[in-house]
Amino acid sequence: MVYRDNRQAIISNNLLGANSGLIKLRTIISVILFLVFSSSICFFMDLSQYAKKPVDNSSAKKVVIIQPGHGLNATTEKLFKAGIIKNRLKFKLFAIIKGHDKNVQAGEYLLSASMPPVKILEILVNGKVNLHKITVVEGYNLHQIADIVARAGFASRTDFYAAATNASFVYEKGIDAKTFEGYLFPETYYFPKVVTPEKIISTMVDRFRSVFTAKWKKRAEELGFSILQVVTLASIIEKETGAPFERPLISSVFHNRLKKGMRLEADPTVIYGIKNFNGNLTRKHLTTWSPYNTYKIKGLPIGPIACPGFKAIEAALYPDDTRFIFFVSKRDTTHKFTTNLKDHNKAIRKYQLRR
């Protein structure tokens, strides 16, 4: 009996020891988990505070260019060297936690140390690149637009003009012409610094399509004109107009001439067909045949001579109702309109041949 009691006591003591050890182990694990949890909370709170706090509230914006293929590490290093961020590790950890470590987009960005890291990351992930303004003026042709693009630093003049006269690209965009002359709609555009000539052209052509509505297409059909013919006539009106209010009047002259089978005899069309024109239009130019010389050909030239704006296209579609078939410059941006050759010659003597 004594032996059995001792045995039971030993077993009880062992169980008590085991339970005590288990309790200690659980306590240690709980403490460790609490410390880990507390540390994690502190870490995330610290990271959250970091993400919301700018490095320098008075810092100016800087241009930062992220090249294609640059990952989070290279981007973080560039931001650090530019003084946009101060803690590389925290910025990378924050990006990873947000799931944006592989979402940084290439481009030119305008960033500042006065921006909190969360805002900087949002800009990089959403591709909110720095945009540059370019303005296409009404009546500019492809050569002039190529110069604008080159001056803005988007592409070389040669590369842009090559894309704008690429017949395959024109066909691909659904334009019934050989070049994009006339279809790069005059307006102010904004592009990132890293942009292709094709993207610039596509944006301008898409804008043209949004302006040339179904109503205008129907009107062109009523006139018996194709879209190309409307744009061509509008481009001539644009180049002939010094005073915007005269567009419908000048349009009426050309419409009347076309109906009568008369030549348009528009100087701007002749000039467009002259290579390296020096600014001096001569009688030889007027008598030399070209597909743009409306003194030699009947009807419209083979295509637009510039990119017309909204009002010029509208005037081509909706001319004033007149009997005018002549006009001559009064040398003050306006014109004298006449219905017969006698009055036209009189206007020439008055406005062009006077001292």
Rounded CA-CA distance 256/254 in Å is 5
pLDDT at 18: 56
Is the backbone of residue 62 left (phi > 0), alpha (psi -120 to 50) or beta? beta
Fold classification of 131-211 is Dna Ligase; domain 1 (3.30.1490)
Rounded CA-CA distance 266/237 in Å is 9
Contact 273, 141 (CB under 8 A): no
Rounded CA-CA distance 295/140 in Å is 22
Residue 61 has which token pair?
């914006």
Contact 60, 54 (CB under 8 A): no
pLDDT at 237: 97
pLDDT at 355: 47
Question: Do strands 188-192 and 131-135 pair parallel, antiparallel, or not at all (unpaired)?
Answer: antiparallel
Calculate helix-pair angle for 117-126, 2-52, nearest 10 degrees: 70
Nearest to 308 by CA among 216, 194, 199, 196: 216
HSE value, Cβ hemisphere, 13 Å, CA-based, for 15: 6
Coil, helix or strand at residue 315: helix
Fold classification of 62-126 is Dna Ligase; domain 1 (3.30.1490)
pLDDT in tens, the chain (355 residues): 545 555 665 555 555 555 666 677 677 666 666 556 656 566 667 777 888 888 887 778 888 988 888 889 999 999 999 999 988 898 988 889 888 888 898 888 999 999 999 999 999 999 899 899 999 999 999 999 999 999 999 999 999 999 999 999 999 999 999 999 999 999 999 999 889 999 999 999 999 999 999 999 999 999 999 999 999 999 999 999 888 999 999 999 999 999 999 999 999 999 999 988 888 888 999 999 999 999 999 999 999 999 999 999 999 999 999 999 999 998 888 999 999 999 999 999 998 886 4
pLDDT at 10: 54
Rounded CA-CA distance 156/150 in Å is 5
Residue where the block lists tokens 């799931």: 99
DSSP characters over 205-220: HHHHHHHS-HHHHHHH
Contact 272, 340 (CB under 8 A): no
How far, CA to CA in Å, does 298 sit from each of 185, 222, 237, 259, 293? 27, 21, 17, 11, 9
Report if pTM > 0.75: yes
Rounded CA-CA distance 75/79 in Å is 6
Rounded CA-CA distance 65/42 in Å is 34
Residue 102 has which token pair?
């592989």
Calculate helix-pair angle for 227-240, 214-223, nearest 10 degrees: 90
Q: Which amino acid is at 291?
A: P
Residue 190 has which token pair?
């904004």
